[in-house]
Every structure is written in C-alpha cells, then in structure tokens.
Amino acid sequence: MFGQLSQFTHLLRIVRVLAHHNLDEYLANIAPLKPYLFLLHIFPRRKDDAPRGQRLREALQELGPVFVKLGQMMSTRPDLIPDDIAEELSLLQDQVPPFPGEQALLILEQAYEEPVSHHLVDFNLEPLASASVAQVHDARLNDGTEVIVKILRPGLEPVIERDIDLLFMLARMGEKYSPDFRRLRAVEVIDEYSKTIHDELDLMREAANASQLRHNFSTSPLLYVPEVYFDHTRTNVMVMEKIHGTTVTKVDTLVENGIDLQQLSHSGVEIFYTQVFRDGFFHADMHPGNIFVLDDGRYAAVDFGIMGTISDIDKHFLAENFLAFFNHDYRRVAQAQIDAGWVPEGTRVDEFESAIRSVCEPIFAKPLCEISFGRVLVRLFRVARRFNMEIQPQLVLLEKTLLYVEGLGRQLDPQLNLWDTAKPYLEQWARQEYGPKAFIKEMRRQAPMWWKMGPRMPMLVNNVLEQASRGELQLTQPDENLKQLRDETRRGQKRLFHAIVGSALLISAALLAALDGYSPIMAGIAPLSSWLLGGLGALLLFVSWPSNRNK
C-alpha cells in the first residue's frame, strides 16, 4: 500500500512539474487528472514566453535522469514529434554528479567477490565522465595495460522501474482520453524506451556487442573497436581497452594532426553502410561523444549499449528503397514498403506513390550537398504513418543513426554529398547480393538442407495429394476482422454487465434513502450504506461508459 501511495505521489509531482512549465495543456484531456490540474492553478508558474520545446526540455531536466534520457530518445524521433521540439530536446545533456570513487571501489569488490587488486591496479578514484546510468574510471590491468572501467550507478534499477511504471501509466491514460497521445503512440514509445534503458543496465550485453563489432571490423582500415576484457567484466562492471584519440567534433585539432576531413567524412558514411548492409549489426548511439579519431585517421567507437540489427529481408527492402530514392523512382519506393510488410498489404500503390512524390520532389529541387538524406527518410516515415505503417524498431534506430552520421559528416565536410557517397556502395552491394556469385553461394549454403529433405519429398507430396483427393485438404487464414469483432463483442458484454450492476446499486441506494431515512450510521441526510452503494454504482456506470476510442 505504501508503494502505491509513493507511486501516486510521484505521479502528482510529474504533473505538477509539467504544469509549472505551462505544459498542462497536453494533459487537459485526461479526465482523471482534471481536478488536480484545476487545483494547480493556485500555484505560481513561470511567466516567460519561452517556446514549448524549451519549456519541455527544462521540465524533463527537473524531473531527473530517466526523463532526460526519454527526452534524448524522443529527439531522435522527428517522425513523431514536431521539428522545433526535436531540436530543443537534442540539447538535453545526460550529465549527473558522480558517485564517490570509494563507493565505486566497493562495487568492484562486490562484483569480483575478491580484492580489486587481483584484477585492476592504479584505479583512479576521480571519474573521467559521469552519466545517469554509469560512470567511467581509468585504471590498469596487472600486466600494465591501460583500461577504462565502466560501473553502473548504484541503486538505479528501483528508480528506473518506478519511473518506467509511471510513464506507462501516464501513456495509457493519455491514449484513453487524448487524441494527441494516440497520434504520438505514447505506449509504444515508452515500451521502446523501456527496452532500450533495460539493455543499458546489462554491461555483459554491452561487452558482447563491442566484441561482435570488433570482430566485424577486425581487418578494417576505417574503424577501430577497443578490446573488451571479459575476465574482468561483470553484469554491472565492464573493462575495456583505453583508446587515445581526438573527439570527432574537435575539427581544429584534427586539422593540426594532419587528418583529411573530406576523407574522414566519406569514411564515416562507408562505415555506416558497411555495418547495416554487410553485417546487419550497427552502432546505434553514434553521437559525437562516442566517436573518436585516432592519429592514423581511423575512427574509434565507444559505448555499445544500444545496437541495431537488420534482417536479410529488411536489408533487401532497405537497399531497394534507397536505390529507388536515388533514381527518383517513387512507385518502386511505395511498392517496396508494401512488399516488406511495413505498410498494410491493401494499400493503394498509386496513392502511396503520389504522397511520397509530394514530399520528395521539393527536396530534390535543392543542390545535392544541401539535401539531408536522414530528413528525407524522416518525412517518408511520416507519410507512411498516414497509411498505417506500424513502428519498426530496427528502422527507428536506423533513422536515428543515419541522422547522427549525416550530421557528423557535414560537420567535417559541409559539401558532403551523401548520395554520391552512398549510391556506388549500395549498387556494388546489390550486385554482390543478387548476382550469379551470390546465387551460387546461397545454393551451396542451402544444399545440405535440401539433401536432407530430398528423400522425404515424395512422401510429403503423396500425402498432400491424397488429402486433396479425399477433400480433406484445408487452407486456413486468420480473419483479423472476425477477431476484432469478437474482441469488441467481449468488451461490449463487460460494459453491459457493469452498467446493469451499477444501475441496480443506484436503485438500491435510492430505496434505502427513501424508506424512513433512519440508519444506525447516518451521513448527512441519508444512511451511510446509501452513499456507499450509490458511489459504487456510479463508479461502475462510469467504467461502463464507452470512451472516445471505442466509439
């Protein structure tokens, strides 16, 4: 009970902070919050005329690290939120005061279950950086190797669970009462955020991600991935090689070091497409703080908590989409998205093509070096949502990463033409994947399976033919409309039951009050039992009343 009271109190605090920053207009349609929002009008509010994006950013900063990370994630979803809010949320900084170095040593000792000196020496008590989920220190292994030690912030999981539960509660209430929340797909957004932040709480998972990416680029002249030392890594502790490089945003230092910025920007684009189309496994948190440049001109990446994966099928349709864009073939773009299942099968191709053309043609009128391919992708997804495109988590991460890569590339080389850099790579990839060599390679890969299935094929064919001759062969396909109708009928029966019981309780309350008005326990002019029955009946009637979503 105390836990529920604490959660309710924290929810009221969230609403109060949003109201203080004049953001309660977004909550005004949520019926359960209306009385509290009305009361909040007696409290002082900020009086400035700051834009809504700035007010939202400052509110999230006041609410704490979990909400800051949510804002950072939302800043990468310009397909869902307006550009002015996305730009303002991108300014959020995930920085919190560090916890003491002595506490970090205690966490290490508990994780290793033995003295820290058996694993690390020269552990620096002063952290190099501190964020909401973890902080990092430098140290050495016993053989003298310089390493970075990443340690999860203590006591973090209960706070995250509490805040995630509250966000889900607010999102569900919002979707029930507010069309703006439904348009935003608030529950899906919070679900995506929950998966992301829970992945970041498992440093063994991050270590495995780093190891896989290092393997993929082990011979690459473009990208270096530091080594993870698994013998010293635990769920809440990760130890990896320390790299010495220059942050990619320090352009003047890169020039002083003799780095070719134009080549560096092109390499970044090639690394991105290699990760996506060759490996189907890509670094999905490539903001400037996670990217360094070594003295030999190679990129070096850190922080592997968020990674994206792309299936072979998705790679095929993505490549088809990109190449169709480059060739202004909008019908092919529309058909590819329908074939991929991203847009419902019954979508009219001509209408979808026309909507895509209306978005892309004004963009292509600009010089190529001024076109943001990431923004084109964002606008395409916005159009697709009008045609009931379902959220594809892998595409969300891809979109976010492409925006990062493009932004970094343009910062290094303002004349970067992403189209000229990407198109030859994609065309070469398509030839490799769908040419004669790829066909032979796939046949070789499938040969053992076909060899094993071959002896069974005649019997399987014979069984099907016998069932068909006896009229026993049936092809079934689930009817989504029937399922939806069945679910709606079930909900209607529940509402009817609540309405009948609620009405009966109200009538009973009225009869008790109308008898002689006397009861051992009175509450005003009516017996207490009348108030209790009447209140319960009114609540059941309220629950049974159809919401806007069910109309």
Residue written as tokens 């020496």? 121
CA-CA distance, 391 to 244, in Å (whole number)?
39
CA distance to 92, 117, 149, per residue, from 126 (Å): 24, 17, 12
Query: 196 is written with which tokens?
Result: 């992301």
**325 near 337, Cβ under 8 Å?**
no
Q: Is 285 a catalytic residue?
A: yes
- CB proximity list for 305: less than 8 A, separation 6 or greater: 133, 199, 200, 205, 206, 209, 285
Q: Is 297 exposed, middle or buried (0-12, 13-18, 19+ CB in 10 A)?
A: middle
Exposure class string for 298-331: b at 16+ Cβ within 10 A, else e = bbbbbbbbbbbebeeebbbbbbbbbbbbeeeebe
Helix (H, G, I), strand (E, B) or coil at 147: strand
Which residue in 79, 285, 303, 314 is the catalytic one?
A: 285
- CB proximity list for 293: less than 8 A, separation 6 or greater: 245, 246, 247, 248, 254, 259, 264, 299, 300
Q: What phi-psi label fits residue 366: left (phi over 0), alpha (psi between -120 and 50 degrees) or beta?
A: beta
**527 near 481, Cβ under 8 Å?**
no
CA–chain centroid gap for 444, Å, is 38
> Looking at 370-507, which runs of residues are DSSP E strands?
none
- CB proximity list for 469: less than 8 A, separation 6 or greater: none
Torsion angle of C-alpha atoms 139, 141, 147, 150, degrees rounded to 10: -70
Show which residues are catalytic. 285
